[in-house]
Structure 1
Amino acid sequence: MDLKDLFLAPLYLALFYGIAFAARRNYTNSYTRKYFILALSLKFIGAIALGLIYQFYYGGGDTFNYHHHIKIFYEAFGQDFSLGLKLYLANGQPVPELTRYTSQMFWWQPHSTELFVVRMAVPLAFLCFNTYTVIALSFAFISFCGMWAMYITFIRIYPVAYKQFAIAIFFLPSVFFWGSGLMKDSLCIGALGWTFYGFYHVFIAKRNITQAGILGCIGIYILVSAKIYILLSFMPPALFWIFNENSTRIKSASLRLFLKPFLILAGAGAAYYGATNLTAGDERFDVEKIGERSKITQEYLSQYVASGSAYNIGQLDGSLGSIIQVAPKAVFISLFRPFLFEARNPVMLLSAIEAAVFLYLTLSLFYRTGLSKGFILIAAEPILTFCLIFSIIMAIGVGTTSGNFGTLVRYKIPLMPFFLSALYIMRFKAQAARSPKQQKNRVTA
């Protein structure tokens, strides 16, 4: 960051707020309007805070590495536009005449997810004179748009919990801190929101199909290009959700009971087919090699961070069987750790507080409903089934590959809004089951 950031950031903030206030009336109602600007402001605060912490606390890091690469593209276009365009379109491929630029980029390689983020940011750099803070604010704004799509989707499914969904999606400190700045995580959590919006409106609500389809495809493209494991975690429960939702719309109870096992098998089969074929032939994410990749990644990250934040997930030998064995531990670590006494710095302390809240809400909910009734409640509500399966699949993935809480805090933010939203829905459902009056209020809402 330099003096240019101090002068330009306020101007662009005013521009972003002007766009937001103009758009608010089209994307809010009387209940959600008060959260729109507040949630956007938290995203902006998160973007600026992340840059400041990386600069003055960590002394550098990924966010400035992204900007380093963006600067090289920016300079290439300034020196020779045609050469800059060739550099932009090369996308990690070795081109001899570009060596003077590519030799400065340690992320210059084919299929680099980091390079994809850089290429997404390059057009933004031209709109703001390559100012780091403005690019970060732009990422926060883009991310907010996707997360607002996630928010209004949850509200359309369960409108009575609009306050709780706002907390789950916008007000978790880890989510708006790690998911707001010039980082891959910001793009991905926004893309996840568009993907969720698209799946629901196209396949379940069957409303706004064209708009939802376009947004959903944009979200899927970003996830495939940046963090495909998020999409791999999303697809199986999403496809299962579609079949499960359609089974609940069969009016005949006897026919629904008869067809449900077939619909479940069809949904599970479609989910498995989608997950395996999406990554077939990809050396990085092929399902058949996921155990081996998890072992390599977990060992690397555990050794890379020696600050006392590492955790032991158990023995991984590179097979899917070993992942299955450590899966329960991985889920617990991802959702409910670090504990408060394991926090080693302020950022980890925020994550520990969130994990403690998640643990308290989960235990108190199942204590009130009972374990068996709690699972019956989940099985009876398709959106609950989707949210919890997605959260569990992703928790297994990030829990087995992270190896330390420093990376886990970042990797798990996509699952956090869905898990907490599921807990809030379960609480409302449990209360409504005990209170006929409350059930009537939900129907009228």
Structure 2
Amino acid sequence: MNYKYFSFTFSDYVFTAAWLIVCIIIALAIYLRNAKNPDYRYFIPHFCWKIFLGIAFATFYVYTYGSGDTTAYYQGAECLKNLAYEDFGDYLHELISGPSRDYLPSYYNSHTGIPPIWVYKEPNSWFICKLASFFSFFTFNSYLALNLIFSFISTLITWRFFLFARSFLQVKVRYVAISILFIPTVGFWCTGLLKDTVVYCASLVLFMNLIKLLNGISLKNILFILLASYIIGSTRSFVLISILIPFFITVFFQYSRRAPFTIRLATRMIGIGMSVLLVFVYFRFSSSFEELSSQNLISTAETIYNDFQQNQGYTGKRYDLGITEFTAVNMLRATPTAIFTAIYRPFIWESNSFFMLLNGLESLVLLYFTLKLFRKRDKTLPPMSEKARIFFTICLFSCLIMAFFVGLTSGLFGVLVRLKAPLLPFFLLFVFHRITDSNTPVTNEKNALH
């Protein structure tokens, strides 16, 4: 099986056009059903934005590189689909078992095709192939059609998160729309057939359902939380850490704010004690956490960083945080630089291509809004509900943790702009709620969730 794409095939155009018609019909049906909701004035523009960027992303990869992560995921998905037709038992075995790093199973042959070896040996990447294989049964060997399906699913999940945020956040709708629906970096890198898209969409689902738990526990929310956590843990585990830890700590301390002083003091002392205990247990029995162990996290960070720094196969401009040896102390010292790098770089003068220049302009705009936050005279938080306060607190700390991992491990600006994309909506929401007038009506939460 050829791993290179030099142009789209006839089947790409035919089946992509067919799927595009289906997506347009579904999008129009959703819009017409909710046309009376003023927030839906953003739905069709968002749909067009995501579909356009999804196709632009696929075109850019195919006609610029001829190969890449996205086409490798497609090849792996096609191999799995062919394996299902040849022996469904072997297909199920691949779905529920981890890939072997030492050998390729014998059931991959000239009929099924040989998956890209580097993808098969990396469990996180092979998981994307498994996920994509479910949809490849309906795309008829078309990479572009498979990419379109991922783009459309990403559109629907992002829109649902927008409605969810609008249901209780006192932030003007245009700023919520900018933050969630129309960030160029997010639209380009978190739309098509990529690991970044899967991680971003799963993060939105996890975030929504964790916040919904504040209204009461339901089986549906628990199932979505478990599913999203499994997907994130199987693809980019540090993102799972950056969401769950701030959520549980924030909720624990937030709900004791209005309690009597003695109860508040006792619960917070217990909370601090539990946090210290959890940290102690984590480092004491770290080897039991496998990929999430402290040793593996440091080792993985070092491996990824060195790979991007030294491997000449990765082209593009590099940056250096000044870390010579990956230890817990050195990583802690590099924290401020790593966070700043992840959120605000590349700068315009660090750009060496047209796309990097656009990223530099986007970073400049983000820096401008951040500076406005510090220049605002009224430093008090706008009036908000308990849920909104928890939401923004989690947004801030999740972004800081995620930015630390991203800035620490990327090494290349081209990789940095991809990995940081999922944190940008959360960070922008936090910034906008501090610098804009919050006296704006929000949609009914019940309507927003349907």
TM-score with structure 2 setting the length: 0.85
Most deviating of 12-21 and 81-90: 81-90
Change in 2 beyond 3 A, CA 1:107/1:289: closer
| 1:56-135 superposed matches below 5 A | 56-81=63-88, 83-93=90-100, 96-100=105-109, 104-107=115-118, 109=120, 112-135=123-146
Alpha-carbon contact 1:107-1:115 (below 8 Å) kept = no
Most deviating of 270-279 and 19-28: 270-279
Equivalent position to 1:293, from 300, 304, 326: 300
Corresponding residue for residue 205 of structure 1: 215
Corresponding residue for residue 163 of structure 2: 152
| 1:231-310 superposed matches below 5 A | 231-248=240-257, 250=258, 254=261, 258=265, 261-262=268-269, 265=272, 268=275, 272=279, 281-304=288-311, 307=315, 309-310=317-318
Deviation at 1:312, TM superposition (A): 1.1
> Aligned pair 1:227/2:236, yes or no?
yes
Q: CA RMSD in A?
A: 3.3
| Distance in 1 (alpha carbons) for counterparts of 2:328 and 2:307 | 19
Corresponding residue for residue 405 of structure 1: 413
**CA deviation profile, 1:126-178 (whole Å, cap 9, x unmatched):** 11212111111111122233323332332233144332111111101110100
- Which has the bigger relative contact order, CA under 8 A and spacing at least 6? 2
| Distance in 2 (alpha carbons) for counterparts of 1:168 and 1:96 | 45
The AA in structure 2 aligned to 1:70 is A
TM-score with structure 1 setting the length: 0.85
> Aligned pair 1:21/2:28, yes or no?
yes
Most deviating of 86-95 and 146-155: 86-95
**CA deviation profile, 1:164-202 (whole Å, cap 9, x unmatched):** 111111101110100011111111111001000110001
| 1:414-433 superposed matches below 5 A | 414-428=422-436, 431=437
Greater share of helix residues, 1 or 2?
Answer: 1
Most deviating of 277-286 and 331-340: 277-286
| 1:327-406 superposed matches below 5 A | 327-369=335-377, 373=379, 381-406=389-414
Alpha-carbon contact 2:372-2:435 (below 8 Å) kept = no
The AA in structure 1 aligned to 2:21 is A
Deviation at 1:125, TM superposition (A): 0.9
| Distance in 1 (alpha carbons) for counterparts of 2:136 and 2:285 | 32
| Distance in 2 (alpha carbons) for counterparts of 1:255 and 1:128 | 62
Alpha-carbon contact 2:211-2:391 (below 8 Å) kept = no
**CA deviation profile, 1:16-56 (whole Å, cap 9, x unmatched):** 22223334577887232112232222221121111111111
Aligned-residue sequence identity (percent) comes to: 25
Deviation at 1:245, TM superposition (A): 3.3
Change in 2 beyond 3 A, CA 1:271/1:442: farther
Q: List gaps (5 residues or longer) in structure 1.
A: 433-437
Secondary structure of 1:296's counterpart equals: helix
Corresponding residue for residue 4 of structure 2: none
Aligned length: 430
Change in 2 beyond 3 A, CA 1:273/1:45: farther
Change in 2 beyond 3 A, CA 1:272/1:386: farther
Q: List gaps (5 residues or longer) in structure 2.
A: 1-7, 445-450
